[in-house]
A = this chain, B = another copy of it.
Amino acid sequence: MARPRTAPRTVDHPDLAQVGLQQVMEALVDPVRRMVVSQLVRKGEDMSCGTFEVPVSISTLTHHFNVLREAGVIRQYYVGVTKMNTLRTEEMGERFPGLLPAVIAACAEEAGSDVG
């Protein structure tokens, strides 16, 4: 039987109007998740799940992606067998003005210190 051509693997994303500050803060409080956000910013383009440099196992990383997606921080979509990730920068900027940029800037500043 023919496999369905449409919507092979879909991903649910919340409307940011339904995301609370608590959820976003909980998403951004974890250092591994902030690494993900930072690397997305630094790279400047969408990244597949497997290309992040994080000090945790793959299954744990999946968990972190779920948290970030459910908090509306990232958007995910499948490309073949890989899953791509992108920041929902603009939408977040409308929902929580200045929050994401401030956190990203702080990350970058701290990373800058110890990268030396």
- CB distance A99 to B110 under 8 Å? no
Residue from the list B22, B31, B110 in contact with A31, Cβ < 8 A: B22
Within 8 A of B (CB), among A88-116: 96-99, 101-103, 105-107, 110
A-B residue pairs in contact (CB < 8 Å), sample of 18: A20-B110, A21-B103, A21-B106, A21-B107, A21-B110, A22-B31, A25-B25, A25-B103, A26-B29, A96-B102, A96-B105, A97-B105, A98-B98, A98-B101, A98-B102, A99-B99, A99-B106, A102-B102
A106 contact from B31, B96, B107, B110, Cβ within 8 A: B96
Interface residues of A, Cβ cutoff 8 Å to B: 20-22, 24-26, 28-29, 31, 34, 96-99, 101-103, 105-107, 110
